[in-house]
Amino acid sequence: MTKKTSNTMWGGRFAAGPDAIMEAINASIGFDQRMASQDIKGSRAHAAMLATTGIITDSDAEAIREGLLTVLSEIEGGTFQFSNALEDIHMNVESRLKEIIGEPAGRLHTGRSRNDQVATDFKLWVRDQFDAAEAGLIALIQALLGQAAAGADWVMPGFTHLQTAQPVTWGHHMMAYVEMFGRDLSRVRDARKRMNESPLGAAALAGTSFPIDRHMTAKALGFDRPSANSLDAVSDRDFALDFLNVASITAMHLSRFAEELVIWSSAQFRFVTLSDRFSTGSSIMPQKKNPDAAELIRAKVGRIYGANTGLMMVMKGLPLAYSKDMQEDKEQVFDAADSWMLAMAAMEGMVKDMTANCDSLKAAAGSGFSTATDLADWLVRVLGMPFRDAHHVTGTLVALAESKDCDLPDLTLEDMKSAHEHITTEVFDVLGVQNSVDSRMSYGGTAPAQVRIQVQRWKDILK
């Protein structure tokens, strides 16, 4: 009679069922149902292997594999009744399987445990997200390449300390983000490769005495190999931390770009116009067009990094092998993955749709004495001055222009000569912004020709 109230999956030694609070703190079905398809995929592979190795009969395996497909269709169709009392996705699925196919369902859990099962499910889920992240990054890089190719020779101010530094090209600025997201892409691929070992068959912690074939299940699930230590296999969540690390760095990159878009789209800068599709209005100020998507992308790094720190804290100090603490691994990873994918898609959309305001960019590029370095370089190159002296002479000319409230190209030859008598009229050739960017032909420099080389290099990489 007491058996009725204890858990049918593990309640043999229990006289009573759990307290309501115990059930509430213990259950993960509210969130781990997101891994339903991975759970069923893993179980189908396990059942097939159990039959091939002769541990269960072919007909039982067939009934299990078919029954699991029925369960999957119920879950996908929204008719499945999830139960808190059955704790998690693993027991919810198995219990329903039992209702559908009866006795053979009880043979599915031979030679495995929920510990290797959950590690397998979660790995499969995270692996899918790595693949989604790869696709999202490639799409974003392609959108940036489109902007860079279109604006390889549009001049704009380059900044350090957010103060005008030297003129650069729009294409060059876009390509800086291509490099960043390109490194993120490489991190995603590294991490995906590193994680691709199957925990299935590690069982509770020590392996199993059944003659299972872990290579077979690993292969069926698209893993490169089975993991080599059963204790490690069930207690490892490095793959989720790798995922959150890459997500955090990408989100940091996204937030930097988002911040630039917020600044650039302001009335004070007017470097870009964001499309109506990626902006919002104000309910009180009719003139407003707000860069909300950029602001939200800028903010997402907070929750993604929070998830990263959170999981580190869950894992820190845990003894081998599995502890229930590890059930706290999923929600934050789910949330971080959703935020990451959404932020990348929103950024891709904004980048594709935004318009660079070439005239504003050009006007800003020429202000703030942005070609002062070109002037100093000319003094070195043509007059043979040491760079430090040239820097000093140029500084006095900047001060002179500032006092006359004009830019460097507006100074007269007389003004120039007042700073150094050997300066000739040729100096004015290097003071234009177009000339300035065209001259920066060093590899990886801002010259339009260099930008086009890099655009082509990335197109080839992504081919």
Residues with catalytic roles:
161, 282
Which two three-digit tokens encode residue 97?
């399987």
Task: Report residue 6: phi and psi, to 5°.
Answer: -85, 165
Cβ-based neighbours of 140, under 8 Å, separated by 6 or more: 181, 344, 347, 348, 351
Site residues for ligand ARG, window 194-213 (CB under 6 A)?
none
Smaller CB distance to ligand ARG: residue 17 or 146? Answer: 17
What residues have CB less than 8 Å from 220, skipping those under 6 apart? 45, 48, 49
Q: Binder to ligand ARG among 18, 28, 340, 450 (CB under 6 A)? A: 28
Residues 319-378 that bind ligand ARG (CB under 6 A): 322, 324, 326-327
**Per-residue x/- track, 94-123, ligand ARG (CB under 6 A):** --------------------xx--x-----
**Which amino acid, residue 108?**
L
Q: Is the dihedral of CA 364, 366, 367, 368 positive or negative?
A: positive
| Secondary structure class of 197 (helix, strand, coil) | strand
**Minimal distance, residue 234 CB to ligand ARG, in Å:** 9
Map residue 272 onto helix, strand or coil. strand
Decide whether 248 or 327 has the Cβ nearer to ligand ARG. 327
Q: Closest separation between CB of residue 296 and ligand ARG, Å?
A: 30
Least Å distance, CB 151 to ligand ARG, is: 49
- Residues 311-330 within binding reach of ligand ARG (CB under 6 A): 322, 324, 326-327
How many angstroms separate the CA atoms of 11 and 3, rounded? 7
- Closest approach, Cβ 235 to ligand ARG, in A, equals 11
* Choice between 12 and 211, CB closer to ligand ARG: 12
Work out the widest C-alpha separation in the chain, in whole angstroms. 107
Give least dist CB 355 to ligand ARG, A.
Answer: 48
The angle at the Cα of 333, spanning 327 to 335, to the nearest 5 degrees, equals 120
Q: Name beta bridge partners: 155.
A: 169
Report how far apart the first and last C-alpha atoms of the chain are (Å, whole number). Answer: 66
Cβ neighbors of 306 (< 8 A, separation 6 or more) are 332
Please state the closest distance from residue 28 (CB atom) to ligand ARG, in A.
Answer: 4
Binding residue count for ligand ARG, defined by CB under 6 A: 10
Tell me the closest approach of the beta carbon of residue 328 to ligand ARG, in angstroms. 8
Could you tell me what percentage of the chain is helix, strand and coil, using 3-state DSSP and rounding each to the nearest 5? 70, 5, 25
Nearer to ligand ARG, 262 or 315 (CB): 315
Whose tokens are 């878009």? That residue is 261
Residue 153 or 329 having the CB closest to ligand ARG: 329
Q: Is 265 in the site for ligand ARG (CB under 6 A)?
A: no
Q: How far apart are CA 416 and CA 207, in angstroms?
A: 82
Residue (22 or 399) nearer to ligand ARG, CB: 22
Question: Which residue among 39, 60, 88, 94 contacts ligand ARG (CB under 6 A)?
Answer: 88
CB-wise, 161 or 324, nearer to ligand ARG?
324
Q: Where along the sequence are the contacts to ligand ARG (CB under 6 A)?
A: 28, 32, 88, 114-115, 118, 322, 324, 326-327
